[in-house]
Amino acid sequence: MSYKIPQETIDQITGNNDIVDVISEHMKLTKKGRNYFGLCPFHGEDTPSFSVSPEKQIFHCFGCGKGGNVATFLMEIENISFSEALKTLADKSGDQLPAEWLNNKPRGPQYSNEQQDVIKAYEWSNKLFHHVLKHTKDGKDALNYLKNRGFSDDSIEHFQLGYSPRKEQFLGAFLKGKGFELEKLVDYGLLNSRDGNSFFDRFQGRVIFPIHNHQGKVIGYGGRAIYDGDQPKYLNSPESNLFQKGKILYNFYQARKHFQKQKRVILFEGYADVIKAYQAGVPNGVATMGTSLTDTHAKILKQYVDEIIICFDGDKAGKEASFKASKILKKAGLFARIANVPNEMDPDDYYEEHGAEAFQKLINSAESYVAFSLQYIKKDYNLSVDHDRVKYIEKALDIISNVNQAVERDFYLTELEETFKLDRNTLNHEIDSRMRIMRQPKDNDKHVRKSNYEQNNWNKNQKLYSAYQNAERHLIAHMLQNEHIADRVQQRLGSSFNIEDHQVLVTYLYAYYEEGNEPNVSYFIERLPDESTRQLTIELALLPINESLSDQELEDYFLAINKENEWSKEMRTLKQMLKQAEKENDPQSAARIGMKIIELKKKSIT
């Protein structure tokens, strides 16, 4: 028998978790007026239409229509059930959930049964590998390897590093003993199979780096061989419907709270770089995993920060990867800076050789995308040759013309002017010409996007409402924030609203207040049984209305609603009479009634 958690406990937990704080852990919000705004995480957009109301403790996207309270947001963003969202919120706020409910709470719909089994298998294997590394003879060489590489005990614990022994059946036997079907684990990278019948450990002889998804669940491994001759040296879990390298960033789950506070992310290439950065006091680092930065990675990061510092290897390949990544980040609208690791070192080795303070200085002194790009493209030109010098200057002007800030543009133009002894007026003319050419398609594109955006808003969110519709919508908005107004409306109108959805909503609202509840939209929507009524409530709650409602305004609302009520009743009566006249084959009466219907419709328009 399932135990239903009391509504007052739900209210307490959601009330103890501020919606702005919780949503800010998942995306970047900017305060404008009384509300906060950001780019909606549920659909692609360039203009922020995702609104969060700290007063009402609700969110609503005016683009895709999603909305709700703090629990709803967690359910949507992490694709979890209400019970899991509530447990997450309780853990954040320190609230206690009833033991009966915890023991009987339903599983969330986030994953299929097979995926849930795989995640459990990863959870068990992660504990096993970590234990082997720290507490067994089998893990001694691996632990010494990590210590010799400069990994601290704290880092090994924090990142839950592990070791898979050089035994073919070690993990397989362990998981089989836990009741897992081994053949299902092959596609997800925990085991390998030779013939589909016999199974052996995939990562044997390797240090294990657990990879978490953005909800904190282990869904893959990176393995590093520690013995000479073991190939390949680096081995990752294969791509699966749980693990997709183009959508996952190493350490994202643990770093998220740090890079939101610091307003920037440090982007590395490898696991070791991230861990050494953590040891150097830089906890806001993430890494791509054996793949280049993708547009999806950039889109994910843009939800949280504006600035990305790229800290890749200092060799030629690392510089090239930095240049490509910076262009992807710039295209996504992010401010990219590049940390120049000297002497072709990688960040891991730089930390070991120079220490934490120097490593932090390296990060903080990262140069801008423009400065890095101007230096990077020089490799393609022989600047001692006139022809190549001209080509370089042309390319440099292309890059500088993309700089939005006039002061920064002037800085780089001055550098070009002095380095190549150029006429400043000529440089300014070239920049103006390039900017004019670039501006034309952008302006056209902006006009098209603006027109489309306005058209979408017109269709979805900015409909024209008749007088009675506006009256009902604004009246309900006042009722949602004022119990006294709701009481007066109940006495005068009851549920006699003209729009059926409004009738349903106010019926629930009257019941909510009759139970002794205070006005609170976030709590109220938890009691609504269907999604459409919840979304309507959120939409109306966010209507811009005056704090107070005068008696005259209230009477005007009543008048508009009652007038439509009377019109509707008269129209229904006439339509019934018309049907009867047609049934009795009385064309004269039908024509007369038809004229009255036309006149009545004209009245409603005027």
Q: Is residue 513 part of a domain?
A: yes
Find the helix or strand (DSSP H, E) in which 429 lies: helix 424-460
Same-domain check for residues 167 and 259? no
Q: What is the pLDDT of residue 450?
A: 45
Maximum mean pLDDT: which of 353-367, 431-445, 514-528, 580-594: 353-367
Q: What is the pLDDT of residue 459?
A: 42
Pairing of strands 335-338, 307-310: parallel
Same-domain check for residues 261 and 366? yes
Phi, psi torsion values for 38, nearest 5 degrees: -165, 175
Q: Is residue 444 part of a domain?
A: no
3-state secondary structure of 289: coil
Instruction: Kindly report, residue by residue over 237-246, the tens digit of the pLDDT.
Output: 999 989 999 9
Domain count, the chain: 5
In this model, does residue 153 exceed pLDDT 90? Answer: yes
Domain boundary among the residues 236, 271, 294 is at: 236
The confidence band for 466, taking pLDDT boundaries of 50, 70 and 90, is confident
For 333-352, what is the mean pLDDT? Answer: 94
Same-domain check for residues 499 and 545? yes
Q: Are 385 and 421 in contact (CB under 8 A)?
A: no
Same-domain check for residues 123 and 230? yes
Q: What is the pLDDT of residue 456?
A: 43
3-state secondary structure of 495: coil
Q: Residue 149's domain spans which residues? A: 113-236
CATH number for the domain spanning 323: value is 3.40.1360.10
Same-domain check for residues 263 and 180? no
Same-domain check for residues 64 and 142? no
Same-domain check for residues 42 and 127? no
Instruction: Kindly report, residue by residue over 53-68, the tens digit of the pLDDT.
Output: 999 999 999 888 889 9
Q: Is residue 314 part of a domain?
A: yes
Same-domain check for residues 435 and 494? no
Contacts of residue 308, Cβ cutoff 8 Å, sequence gap at least 6: 264, 265, 266, 267, 301, 329, 334, 335, 336, 337
Contacts of residue 363, Cβ cutoff 8 Å, sequence gap at least 6: 266, 277, 282, 309, 311, 339
Instruction: Kindly report, residue by residue over 381-406, the tens digit of the pLDDT.
Output: 999 999 999 999 999 999 999 888 89
Q: What is the pLDDT of residue 457?
A: 39
145 vs 273: CA distance, rounded Å: 16
CATH number for the domain spanning 216: value is 3.90.980.10
Domain boundary among the residues 72, 101, 130 is at: 101
The confidence band for 458, taking pLDDT boundaries of 50, 70 and 90, is very low
> 């590049």: which residue's tokens?
338
Query: Which of these ranges, 108-122, 267-281, 523-537, has the smallest mean pLDDT?
Result: 108-122
In this model, does residue 453 exceed pLDDT 50? Answer: no
Q: What is the pLDDT of residue 108?
A: 45
> 């853990």: which residue's tokens?
91
In this model, does residue 421 exceed pLDDT 70? Answer: yes
Query: Which of these ranges, 168-172, 255-259, 456-460, has the smallest mean pLDDT?
Result: 456-460
Instruction: Kindly report, residue by residue over 262-312, the tens digit of the pLDDT.
Output: 889 999 999 999 999 999 999 999 999 878 999 999 988 988 888 999 999
Domain boundary among the residues 336, 371, 406 is at: 371
User: Tokens representing 356?
Assistant: 């934490």
Same-domain check for residues 362 and 387? no
Pairing of strands 218-225, 206-212: antiparallel
- Mean predicted lDDT score pLDDT of the chain: 87
Q: Are 87 and 182 in contact (CB under 8 A)?
A: no
Q: What is the pLDDT of residue 25?
A: 87
Same-domain check for residues 161 and 264? no
Same-domain check for residues 70 and 121? no
Q: Is residue 458 part of a domain?
A: no
Q: Is residue 603 part of a domain?
A: no
CATH number for the domain spanning 526: value is 1.10.860.10
The confidence band for 441, taking pLDDT boundaries of 50, 70 and 90, is low
Q: Is residue 198 part of a domain?
A: yes
Cis amide leading into 232 (omega within 30)? yes
pTM higher than 0.75, yes or no?
no
The confidence band for 467, taking pLDDT boundaries of 50, 70 and 90, is confident
Burial of 192 (0-12, 13-18, 19+ CB in 10 A): middle
Query: Which of these ranges, 2-11, 146-155, 326-335, has the smallest mean pLDDT?
Result: 2-11
Q: Is residue 2 part of a domain?
A: no
Same-domain check for residues 32 and 87? yes
CATH number for the domain spanning 76: value is 3.90.580.10
Instruction: Kindly report, residue by residue over 187-232, the tens digit of the pLDDT.
Output: 898 999 987 778 999 999 999 999 999 888 999 999 999 998 889 9
Q: Is residue 290 part of a domain?
A: yes
